[in-house]
Structure 1
Amino acid sequence: MRPSKKEEEQNIILISDDEAESTLGSSVLLVDPLEKPALEEEKSEEVVDEECDLVVTFCKKANVMPHARYDCTMHPFERTECDRCSPLGKNADICDQCYCYICDKLASECENWTVPALCHCNAHNKSKFWKDQRDFALAGILVMFNLELADIDADLRHGGDLLLKFIQELSVEYNKYLAGEEMLHTQHECFCLPKLPPGQCDVCRSRSMEVVYKNWQNLGHTASLKIAVPCLLQRITTRLQRMLVLCDFPKSLHEKFVNFFQSISLPCHCFGFSNSLNVMPWDHVLLTTVLKGQNVTGQRTLRGRKVFLWEPLPVIEARMEKLVDKKNYKEVVRYLRAVKCNDTKGLRHLRDKIPFYLCKSGDFLDAAHSLLFPVNSLACCTACRLTPFEYEVYLKMFRTGSVPGGKDILDPGLWIAAGPPLKDGVLIKQALKLLYCNMSLYRNPKCWSTLIMILGSSNFLEKSGHLLPMSLKEPPLDFQKGVLAASCGLLKELKAKINVSLPPSIFSPQLHHEACLILAVQAIQQMVFCDLPYLTSFLEIALAFGNNFWALRLLLDHLSYEENVLHGTVNLILRDLHCQKATMLKLWQNLGPQYVGEFLCLFLTCRHQKMQSIGLFSLNIIAENLHMCPWAKHLCNFFHNAGLRHLPLGTAAHHEVSKFINIFENL
């Protein structure tokens, strides 16, 4: 129940802002304006303060309220700067409301009230020594950071406890080290990100082994510490730099933390770490203008001097991590293009992710250009360092306009739509340029099979990341000849990294899929003619055509023009078939007899007997594993319908085909 206004006015407590100004030496003064008898008696003792216009008409002894021991009005108190050997005078005497200045609890409950060498009864607020003791008692080890008590929450207090424990343990180990005691190598906690179990982090293990190895060399205490301390400081500052970027510390706490680190007295060989925590805040003018796209160079002129957006690699990684978590992909790209770092190799690795972040933002055209053009003139392009898997993922993104749902290009998971895909003409040009820029990709059959598979698929992508293949109708022969005639010049220009324009008459909207596939066939032919000895496989290129057998036939016909190329290609395919019999049987089971029939007919009807040997070998694989090919009878029907028995295949081919058909006719 709320008291009435009259009751509220019965007692007025005046508390001075500064305890030193209290005229009575007390922290609390009680004034009772409604005590009429006393008021009448003391009228003659009115005190008027002209300076502050305050008139005190009545005073009485205050009710005793909780107070520090030095403010007690019942027991006198003697002050000294730092005397703690024994209680001074009557400082040990207390009333029921006396509190310990150090412990901040009743003096009767203080365990160190009169303990020699501690003597909390002598503590008061006019001594720097006792103030430091109080701060340490309330803030613990955190007092060294000059924090206000209001800044210390439960998490900070817990961190202070852990820090104190670490200091104590480190002190014990260091004393053992100084005493020459042999220290066993133990598995310590990992402080890297992502955090791994003890002993499983290669970085931490290598650093720890480096320190242990140096100690084994008997360098002595001074020399060993000169090596170990910078290593330890590097790990500590790296961790702290990430925290300052990723954690939303209050500005005052951030500044106090940085100032404390700068106040640490470091040895001369570690001076470089003094300013390592001067991390640019997120609201810094230069950083914000870069993130918003208002500054693309990462530099500005301040008081006639150029200032650059320069940050250490751990800070750059942390900023990227936070921006990616918020899905601010455009800001990540702007930041990576503008920021500078002394670790050029590490920064180059991060900049290689720019095309992926552009894809995540839906800008696939800029992503394709970013793969081929370096951020600055001193570095090579990202395409030079692409892996076959990354090449496949980028082409899949360009073709479908979808991106992996994870934070990295290698992360598994569902795919999501991000924007309009590239047009076929742009896609084929960029895909071939990537191959021409990277020789390891150019000579990798996996990359060529990826290109063929992408061009033969629709721009719709399942959430699982699976493409939907298309069956393209064979275009007219005149159209094929026109594309082949123009492709030689186009490929030559693409190799020279010239901005190539595809002839609109050939790459028409009606047959653009077919035109791109023919151009890819011509590019594969040129690659095989020049780099056949470097190829490790050719079967996966042939299988990538899917149901577009007309394009595969076009490729095989061109490869048959030179005898050495023909023999080399056939030998590669036969070797693949021999090594992957089980894989081929499983693949054929999934694709069905229609596909297998057309695949066999393609090779069996080739004009070169060497190429026919591929079809015969495949037929023998099926005949030897009929128990694994329940669809083989349908394949026999396909041969009948195709009139394969009546075609001029040659003696060996006729014999094997007839033998296969007779097997099922006699069942």
Structure 2
Amino acid sequence: MGPSKREEKEQSIILISDDEAEGTLGNSVLLVDPLEKSAVEEEKSEEVVDEECELMVTFCKQAKVMPHARYDCTIHPFERMECETCSPLGKNADICNQCYCYICDKLASECQNWTTPSLCHCNAHNKSKFWKDQRDFALAGVLVMFNLELTDIDADLRHGGSLLIKFIQELSVEYNKYLIGERMPPTQHECFCLPKLPPGQCNVCRSRNMEVVYKYSGVFALVTRFLNQAERESPKAAAVMFLGAAKEIALHKDPALITTQLQRMLVLCDFTKNLYEKFVNFFQSISLPCHCFGFSNSLNVVPWDHVLLTTVLKGQNITGQRTQKGRKVFLWETLPVIEARVEKLVDKKKYKEVVRYLRAVKCNDTKGLRDLRDKIPFYLCKTGDFLDAAHSLLFPVNSLACCTACRITPFQFEVYLKMFRTGSVPTGKAMLDPGPWITVGTPLKDGVLIKQALKLLYSNVSLYRNPKCWSSLIMILGSSSLLEKSGHLHPLSLKEPPLDFQKGVLAASGGLLEELKAKINVSLPPALFSPHLHHEACLILAVQAVQQMLFCDLPYLTSFLEIALAFGNNFWALRLLLDHLSYEEHVLHGTVNLILRDLNRQKATMLKLWQNLGPQYVGEFLCLFLTCRHKKMQSIGLFTLNIITENLHMCPWAKHLCNFFHNAGLRHLPLGTAAHREVSKFINIFENV
């Protein structure tokens, strides 16, 4: 059953010819519309049936003329030649109201060069390479130099092209000024002509002394502004601007700065493969002076999908080399490229890939690569592999380099120990970035932690002699493995272990420390580091290490108070350290003098700290020093007590401290004359209130 009359009225068929063979003429569009046929046409129409597609054409009429290129016009004939620009061929200048200029891509009636001699856009057609190039240049503008297809050009590329054209015009003016030079007025020389005239008034002398100065500063300032502007644009626009600038200044400026930026862009920006190759080919086509010849290949950046690079990133190749056609090929890249790759991988949080890449890649800039490799332990921590991170600090990537531990700062030392202790890492890209901490793995065991920490101290003299590092070690050993999101540790109040246990750890620690200094792989005695007292054992071992440091390097220390404060509420461990210092008189005197100097210089800081710690801590701290058998050590307690007495208005907790002295029976202990007098005076202040 055929379609109804209503359905027939709603149907219309457009037949478009795709035959564009040379010399083919005819209608581009045929419209079959049963709604507009006349009675006469109905009688004259013939039935045409296509059996293959079951299509029946019952009526045809002249097509409505749609917009078209001049060479495709069905009203006016067109003659084709490869590159005729002198005058219109045949009737090529004739147009209908829908003819478009092939070059300008607008109505032929609006084309200003339709019949202009030496241009003659009316002769343009799509079968000529000449006219195609003209069209590409008209539509792409300066971008045509990059050999881009019109389909490649988007808004970003056009924007970069427009900025580049403006720059080229301004640079041409400024560079011409530089080539012409600037005539400077002569200096006021004495005239030797006859008749002799006053200085500066003799035309002969003035013309003879006129100098021409060539100042490149104007060109340099213009180029610098343009490059700075390019860095703020989108990647595609910036690439066009950098490449165009490189071409313009290639003969009078070293392109190193531009090539560095382009290398980074090729790594960081996701250019299509076609656009990537066009940019590289364009740069290689730039004519460079002899001394810059090496820059021609500077954009031969290994793409991300290169076989050698991908196998390194996946961990299938740890050496960064492979044999290709009988010769060894290395993963060798410039420092800007390596920096850009690391930046992109870190942004994507691909820390394992970063580590594999940095360990395998090679570079001429050994110092720059070394600085990047120094971050490998941090990236390993980000993956949760804290043991490998600790080893990476102590062992260099290759035998020719020194270990990272030689270059870490006291702050980095503390952060590493905190990460090893808690199994947590800062969420930022770098160790110094602020932000919350998150747990990513299992913390190091206490025995492993203290061994690695002491090895770090023994590997770096500046760390070893820095009291901040020793205070960090003691503070972290005396803290819980739980960490707040803010990165704050929870201090532990460890009960004093039995004296026999303390003596056993001290007896074994001397040999252990010497072996660690000698970089021998030490195994800690399991009996000493039992599951029940491992925190205490580590703290005792740290006390012994501090004691050895003081005996050898006391003159290099700038402070000791922060080491004493790092013990927190574990006063038994601090007392153990102070007791051992009394065996060497000069060490004892030097340590006490350091603490007294610190207290004197930091009175305001200490008052604020005591306010936060409370009277219980201050009382324990004072009792520790006041009850020392050595009178020199008691002076620290007396000096501290004097600071509190002189600043009672800043110590609202002082009365509670007095109660602590009462409960501890401090007034009745045999402290010595000076100590007894000062304690009594302090207590009397509050008893008389």
Compute the TM-score of the two structures, normalised by the length of structure 2: 0.85
1:389 matched to 2:392? The reply is no
1:494 matched to 2:516? The reply is yes
The answer for the alignment partner of 2:149 in structure 1 is: 148
Q: 1:194 & 1:287 partners in 2: Cα distance?
A: 29
**Comparing 176-185 and 621-630, the one that deviates more:** 176-185
Q: How many Å apart are 1:237 and its aligned residue?
A: 1.6
Q: 1:196 & 1:40 partners in 2: Cα distance?
A: 67
Q: 1:485 & 1:477 partners in 2: Cα distance?
A: 12
Q: Check the 8 A contact 2:384/2:442 in 1, yes or no.
A: yes
Q: CA 1:611–1:125 in structure 2 vs 1: closer, same or farther (change >3 Å)?
A: same
The answer for the alignment partner of 2:592 in structure 1 is: 570
Q: Equivalences for 1:38-437 in 2 at 5 Å?
A: 64-77=65-78, 79=80, 81-84=82-85, 87=88, 90-181=91-182, 182=215, 183-184=217-218, 186=221, 188-189=224-225, 229-230=253-254, 233-437=255-459
Q: 2:643 & 2:232 partners in 1: Cα distance?
A: 49
Q: CA RMSD in A?
A: 2.8
Q: How many Å apart are 1:163 and its aligned residue?
A: 2.2
**Comparing 330-339 and 141-150, the one that deviates more:** 141-150
3-state DSSP class of the match of 1:274? Answer: helix
Q: Check the 8 A contact 2:46/2:59 in 1, yes or no.
A: no
Q: Check the 8 A contact 1:19/1:27 in 2, yes or no.
A: no
Q: How many Å apart are 1:94 and its aligned residue?
A: 1.4
**Comparing 540-549 and 185-194, the one that deviates more:** 185-194
Deviations 1:127-181 (A, max 9, x none): 4332221001112222122222222222222222222222222222222221225
3-state DSSP class of the match of 1:229? Answer: coil
Q: 1:612 & 1:196 partners in 2: Cα distance?
A: 64
Q: CA 1:166–1:195 in structure 2 vs 1: closer, same or farther (change >3 Å)?
A: closer
2:649 to 617, 627, 630: 627
Q: How many Å apart are 1:244 and its aligned residue?
A: 1.5
1:523 matched to 2:545? The reply is yes
The answer for the alignment partner of 2:207 in structure 1 is: none
Q: How many Å apart are 1:644 and its aligned residue?
A: 1.1
Q: How many Å apart are 1:29 and its aligned residue?
A: 6.8
Q: Equivalences for 1:589-604 in 2 at 5 Å?
A: 589-604=611-626
1:13 to 16, 22, 47: 16
1:28 matched to 2:28? The reply is yes
Q: 1:100 & 1:606 partners in 2: Cα distance?
A: 102
Q: Check the 8 A contact 2:458/2:517 in 1, yes or no.
A: yes
Q: CA 1:196–1:573 in structure 2 vs 1: closer, same or farther (change >3 Å)?
A: farther
Q: Check the 8 A contact 2:392/2:404 in 1, yes or no.
A: yes
Q: CA 1:398–1:87 in structure 2 vs 1: closer, same or farther (change >3 Å)?
A: same
Q: How many Å apart are 1:60 and its aligned residue?
A: 8.7
Q: How many Å apart are 1:91 and its aligned residue?
A: 3.4
Q: Check the 8 A contact 1:15/1:27 in 2, yes or no.
A: no
Q: 1:193 & 1:422 partners in 2: Cα distance?
A: 49
Q: Check the 8 A contact 1:31/1:58 in 2, yes or no.
A: no
Q: 2:524 & 2:351 partners in 1: Cα distance?
A: 32
Q: Check the 8 A contact 2:509/2:544 in 1, yes or no.
A: yes
Q: 2:448 & 2:18 partners in 1: Cα distance?
A: 80
**Comparing 239-248 and 182-191, the one that deviates more:** 182-191
3-state DSSP class of the match of 2:643? Answer: helix
Q: CA 1:653–1:332 in structure 2 vs 1: closer, same or farther (change >3 Å)?
A: same
Alignment-mate amino acid for residue 169 of structure 2: Q
Q: 2:7 & 2:344 partners in 1: Cα distance?
A: 56
Q: CA 1:159–1:612 in structure 2 vs 1: closer, same or farther (change >3 Å)?
A: same
Q: 1:486 & 1:194 partners in 2: Cα distance?
A: 65
Q: How many Å apart are 1:288 and its aligned residue?
A: 1.3
Q: 1:444 & 1:192 partners in 2: Cα distance?
A: 42
The answer for the alignment partner of 1:467 in structure 2 is: 489
Q: 1:192 & 1:423 partners in 2: Cα distance?
A: 51
Alignment-mate amino acid for residue 126 of structure 2: N
Q: How many Å apart are 1:234 and its aligned residue?
A: 1.6
Q: Which structure 1 residue ranges, 5 or more long, are not aligned?
A: 44-56, 198-223
3-state DSSP class of the match of 2:297? Answer: coil
Q: How many Å apart are 1:450 and its aligned residue?
A: 0.3
Q: How many Å apart are 1:663 and its aligned residue?
A: 1.0
1:643 matched to 2:659? The reply is no
Deviations 1:448-487 (A, max 9, x none): 0000000010001111111110011111111111111111
Q: CA 1:418–1:10 in structure 2 vs 1: closer, same or farther (change >3 Å)?
A: closer
The answer for the alignment partner of 2:630 in structure 1 is: 608
The answer for the alignment partner of 1:211 in structure 2 is: none
Q: 1:524 & 1:286 partners in 2: Cα distance?
A: 49
Q: Check the 8 A contact 1:190/1:196 in 2, yes or no.
A: no
Q: 2:340 & 2:147 partners in 1: Cα distance?
A: 27
Alignment-mate amino acid for residue 159 of structure 1: G
The answer for the alignment partner of 1:220 in structure 2 is: none
**Comparing 252-261 and 389-398, the one that deviates more:** 252-261
Alignment-mate amino acid for residue 173 of structure 1: E
The answer for the alignment partner of 1:207 in structure 2 is: none
3-state DSSP class of the match of 1:12? Answer: strand
3-state DSSP class of the match of 1:558? Answer: helix
Q: Check the 8 A contact 2:27/2:63 in 1, yes or no.
A: no
Q: Check the 8 A contact 1:549/1:599 in 2, yes or no.
A: yes
Q: Which structure 2 residue ranges, 5 or more long, are not aligned?
A: 1-5, 35-40, 49-57, 183-214, 234-248
Q: 1:256 & 1:446 partners in 2: Cα distance?
A: 55
Alignment-mate amino acid for residue 132 of structure 1: D
Q: CA 1:131–1:526 in structure 2 vs 1: closer, same or farther (change >3 Å)?
A: same
Q: CA 1:27–1:566 in structure 2 vs 1: closer, same or farther (change >3 Å)?
A: farther
Q: 1:196 & 1:66 partners in 2: Cα distance?
A: 41
Alignment-mate amino acid for residue 638 of structure 1: F
The answer for the alignment partner of 1:559 in structure 2 is: 581
Q: How many Å apart are 1:324 and its aligned residue?
A: 1.4
3-state DSSP class of the match of 2:301? Answer: coil
Q: How many Å apart are 1:370 and its aligned residue?
A: 0.5
Q: Equivalences for 1:529-548 in 2 at 5 Å?
A: 529-548=551-570
Q: How many Å apart are 1:638 and its aligned residue?
A: 1.0
Q: 2:152 & 2:230 partners in 1: Cα distance?
A: 29
Deviations 1:247-301 (A, max 9, x none): 2222222222222222222222222122222222222211111111111111111
Q: How many Å apart are 1:5 and its aligned residue?
A: 7.8
Q: 1:619 & 1:550 partners in 2: Cα distance?
A: 21
Q: How many Å apart are 1:578 and its aligned residue?
A: 0.5
Q: How many Å apart are 1:112 and its aligned residue?
A: 2.8
Instruction: Count the aligned residue pairs.
Output: 620
Identity of aligned pairs, percent?
82
Q: How many Å apart are 1:97 and its aligned residue?
A: 2.1
Q: How many Å apart are 1:410 and its aligned residue?
A: 1.0
